[in-house]
């Protein structure tokens, strides 16, 4: 349960990190909060010859809002996002999601950028980025690349990041007036990875919702937009029809926590709960 | 690779208020550094992959998993373990309540549990039982069933809250 011997260097800035990485070769790994990576190193799941510590690069820290866009630096921790006032105002989904991630002593170290680059299919942040139409900003020696979240998550622990590209920030359109966001997940125990989860956004309209985004997590090899159910809800369709459409949208596999059949059932439970959360409170009069 | 990369790294940090300088293997995680190199065996190495919480210590005022942070990453940091927290008396009331309420049996989880509970009370002076349970959800206890731990934290919160008013 101890990491194998490895080499280490701490990067002082982004250019330094890229130079160190080039020197160490593509098998070297970046470490920030290390909350998944160090667990993997302890278990010797990964053969890592060298670590480049990016956790003290100032330009990857902090968050701010400008021109209708909330920009969150890659090193921002789950805990920082959870208590950020600008995040609560401009992307309340993230405020709601943060406490669902692992445990307090992990949220103090784990970073947004690390979670997105790792791309665990059961993690909350990738689904949130899909639900909010975020742009993932990455930097290489040749310049910056801006990747829509929908094009970023490619497969199981696989992203559009190329070797020698560093995820530096995400940019999220601020929530529009009248729009609502919500996240629900079902986990066996608080802090466990969810058996199934749903991050969503929508605008209440004429008793229904429009411009709905439904990003499921824990139900496939990546976070998944449920296109069929989204279309039905956008067109003012029935909630149960949208639930039925999930049978085509999602193709979960059995895992240790739940069978595929149970996961399909949980996806529908979550859709009903999220639609209720996004909809205005019904008058009981 | 050049000398920028090294398998052993010099670090300087503060541990329980005292300056510490050491050369550590890059692969050494913080909890092994504290326990094996500094002899601070209060916090425990349990699962060593971030699940059990027995290694919970405080770094720069925040609780962390000692097994999921490399010792090199603690360079320049201010680290507190149960030894330091006990010596300052900062959590004496919490420790007394754990004893009075039988909130420990074998004691393996207790240093990490105290660190998590102290962190909660520092940020939320009057947590509900549900909030207490949520905050210690990352700290496994296989003896108590948690109920006595929640009792102890609740009691300390009530007493800390009551004492300023009692003094008025």
Secondary structure (DSSP) of A246-268: HHHH------SS--HHHHHHHHH
Nearest CA in chain B to A193: B51
Number of residues in chain B: 168
CB atoms B72 and A8 under 8 Å = yes
Q: Which of B73, B127, B132 to mutate to test the interface with A (most CBs of A within 10 A)?
A: B73
Q: Render pLDDT for B35-54 as a digit per residue (tens, 0 to 9).
A: 999 999 999 999 999 999 99
Q: How far apart are CA A182 and CA A198, in angstroms?
A: 8
Q: What is the ipTM of this complex?
A: 0.94
Distances (CA, A) of B125 to A107, B115, B122, B157, B168: 20, 15, 6, 6, 19
Contact call for residues B56 and B85 (beta carbons, < 8 A): no
Dihedral of CA B86/B90/B95/B96: which sign?
A: positive
Please say if the pLDDT value at position B61 is more than 70: yes
The angle formed by the CA atoms of residues B9, B13 and B18, to the nearest 5 degrees, is 140
3-state secondary structure (DSSP) of residue A209: strand
Partner A contacted by B153 (CB < 8 A):
no
CB atoms A8 and B135 under 8 Å = no
What confidence score (pLDDT) does residue A285 get? 47
Partner B contacted by A46 (CB < 8 A):
no
Q: How far apart are CA B30 and CA B28, in angstroms?
A: 7
Ordered per-residue pLDDT tens for chain A, 285 residues: 799 999 999 999 999 999 999 999 999 999 999 999 999 999 999 889 999 999 999 999 999 999 999 999 999 999 999 999 999 999 999 999 999 999 999 999 999 999 999 999 999 999 999 999 999 999 999 999 999 999 999 999 999 999 999 999 999 999 999 999 999 999 998 888 999 999 999 999 988 999 999 999 999 999 999 999 999 999 999 999 999 999 999 999 999 889 999 999 999 999 999 999 999 865 454
Distances (CA, A) of A67 to A9, A64, A151, A203, B21: 37, 10, 24, 21, 47
């Amino acid at each position: 349960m101890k990491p194998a011997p490895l080499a280490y260097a701490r990067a002082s800035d982004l250019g330094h990190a890229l130079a160190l990485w080039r020197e160490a070769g593509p098998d070297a790994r970046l470490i920030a909060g290390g909350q998944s990576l160090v667990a993997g190193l302890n278990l010797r799941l990964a053969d890592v010859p060298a670590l480049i510590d990016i956790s003290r690069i100032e330009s990857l820290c902090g968050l701010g809002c400008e021109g209708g866009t909330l920009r969150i630096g890659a090193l921002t921790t789950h805990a920082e996002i959870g208590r950020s006032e600008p995040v609560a105002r401009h992307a309340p989904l993230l405020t709601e999601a943060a406490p669902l991630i692992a445990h307090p002593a992990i949220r103090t170290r784990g970073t947004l950028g690390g979670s997105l680059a790792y791309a665990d299919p059961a993690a909350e942040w990738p689904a949130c980025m899909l639900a909010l139409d975020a742009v993932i900003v990455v930097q290489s020696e040749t310049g910056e690349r801006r990747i829509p979240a929908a094009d970023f998550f490619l497969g199981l622990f696989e992203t559009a990041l190329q070797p020698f590209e560093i995820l530096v920030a995400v940019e999220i359109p601020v929530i529009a007036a009248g729009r609502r966001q919500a996240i629900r997940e079902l986990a066996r125990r608080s802090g466990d990875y969810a058996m199934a989860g749903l991050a969503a956004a929508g605008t209440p309209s004429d008793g229904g919702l429009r411009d709905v985004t439904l990003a499921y997590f824990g139900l496939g090899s990546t976070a998944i937009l449920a296109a069929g159910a989204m279309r039905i809800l956008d067109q003012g369709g029935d909630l149960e029809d949208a639930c039925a459409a999930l049978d085509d949208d999602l193709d979960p596999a059995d895992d240790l926590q739940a069978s595929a059949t149970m996961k399909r059932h949980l996806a529908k439970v979550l859709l009903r709960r999220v639609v209720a959360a996004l909809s205005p409170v019904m008058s009981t009069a | 690779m050049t000398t920028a990369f090294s398998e052993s790294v010099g670090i300087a940090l503060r541990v329980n208020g005292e300056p510490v300088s050491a050369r550590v293997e890059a692969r050494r995680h913080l909890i092994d550094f504290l326990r094996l190199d500094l002899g601070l065996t209060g916090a425990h190495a349990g699962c060593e992959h971030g699940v059990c919480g027995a290694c919970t210590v405080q770094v720069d005022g925040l609780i962390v998993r000692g097994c999921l942070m490399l010792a090199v990453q603690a360079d320049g940091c201010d680290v507190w373990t149960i030894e330091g927290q006990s010596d300052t008396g900062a959590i004496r009331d919490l420790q007394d309540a754990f004893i009075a309420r039988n909130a420990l049996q074998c004691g393996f989880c207790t240093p990490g549990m105290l660190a998590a509970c102290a962190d909660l009370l520092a940020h939320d002076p009057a947590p509900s039982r549900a909030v207490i349970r949520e905050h210690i959800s990352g700290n496994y206890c296989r003896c108590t069933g948690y109920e006595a731990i929640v009792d102890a934290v609740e009691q300390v919160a009530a007493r800390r809250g009551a004492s300023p008013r009692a003094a008025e």
